[in-house]
Every structure is written in C-alpha cells, then in structure tokens.
Amino acid sequence: MPETDSQPRDSFWRWNASSPWLPSLIIFMFAFMGADFTAIFLRRLRALSIPYPPFMDYIHFITAVFCLALWLATFRKWPRVAPVLVLILCGAMVLEVPKHYVASRTVEIPVNRFLESEELESLQQSAHFPLFEEGSSDGTIMVVARSNEQRARQELDRIGISRAK
C-alpha cells in the first residue's frame, strides 16, 4: 500500500514546532525546585549574619533564564543535542551555585550531639560570634563563618562535643 502521508517515515526524529515547550517547561521546573534549595542553603548565611549579594535570593530564576537563553540560542543549530545538554547544565547550576557559594563562606564542624538551647546560647555568648547547628543523616554539625573557625573549634573542644570528621 503506498504511503499517503505528506511526511516521510522518519518524521519522529525531525524537529517539531511544538517541541520547544517541553525543555522550557522543564527549565522552569528546575527554577521552582531550586527555590527550595536556595532558601535552605542561604539559611546558614542569614543565621550567621554573613552578608551576601541580594541577587543570591533569586539565583534559581537567574540560572533558569540563563539556561533558557542558552537553549534558545542553540536549539536551531543542534536540535537533538542542545535540549539535553542545557537541561543537564540547568539542573546542575540551579542546585550547585548556591551550595558552593555558601560552602565558600562557611565551615562545618562535626559535633557529637545537638546542644540544648541554653547550651547554644551560652556557647555563643562565650564565643562572641554566631553559631548555627544543623543535623542530617551524617550527624550533627556546627556551622560557623570561615573567619571564626579556629575559635569555634577551641570552644567546642573546651566543652567536649567536637568530633573528628
């Protein structure tokens, strides 16, 4: 039976005008997902009173717009490869940019246990700088600014809750 379609058989692999919507929607999904991670990562800087540029609160949208612009600039030339590369890049950037920014300004010191609120307040008063306590599946950590790392380690060793990493 002869083919009656106006399109050839391999039309599945050809660029379709409706396909630009899927990568752009996924990119903005990364942006909205990244909003949660950005808030979680920047919480440490706020708690420690470490100043950071105001645009860092919106870095998840900035990276999504950058990825969308990159994708729009490349999808005509590389219609099959560009969406995959840009989506991988966007997924990595949305999560890693705030994480590395915070990691470059803070230090995690592992401790044996959570401190009671009274203990934490007295430790902050004796140390004269802010401390932020956080727990995860890896254990409890005390987060401090890089400039206060040595003094924090001395204070935590003094009360006997510091542990080796």
Which string of DSSP letters, residue by residue, matches 94-118?
Answer: HHHHHHHHHHTTEEEEEESSPPPHH
Judgement on whether residues 36 and 76 belong to the same structural domain of the protein: yes
pLDDT digits 0-9 by tens, 68-127: 888 888 888 887 788 888 888 888 888 899 999 999 999 999 998 888 888 888 888 888
pLDDT digits 0-9 by tens, 116-133: 888 888 888 888 899 999
Position 39 scores a pLDDT of 92
Strand 132-136 and strand 106-111: pairing?
unpaired
Judgement on whether residues 87 and 117 belong to the same structural domain of the protein: no
Task: Give the domain CATH number at 115.
Answer: 3.30.70
Judgement on whether residues 93 and 142 belong to the same structural domain of the protein: no
Residue 17 — very low, low, confident or very high, per pLDDT cuts 50/70/90?
very low
As for how many domains the chain has, the answer is 2
Residue 129 lies in a domain: yes
Residue 8 lies in a domain: no
Average pLDDT, the chain: 84
Judgement on whether residues 136 and 94 belong to the same structural domain of the protein: no
Judgement on whether residues 29 and 99 belong to the same structural domain of the protein: yes
Judgement on whether residues 69 and 45 belong to the same structural domain of the protein: yes
> Pick the residue with more confidence: 54 or 165?
54
Q: Tell me which residue of 118, 128, 102 sits closest to 44, measured CA to CA.
A: 102
> Pick the residue with more confidence: 140 or 76?
140
- In which domain, by residue range, is 39 found? 19-103
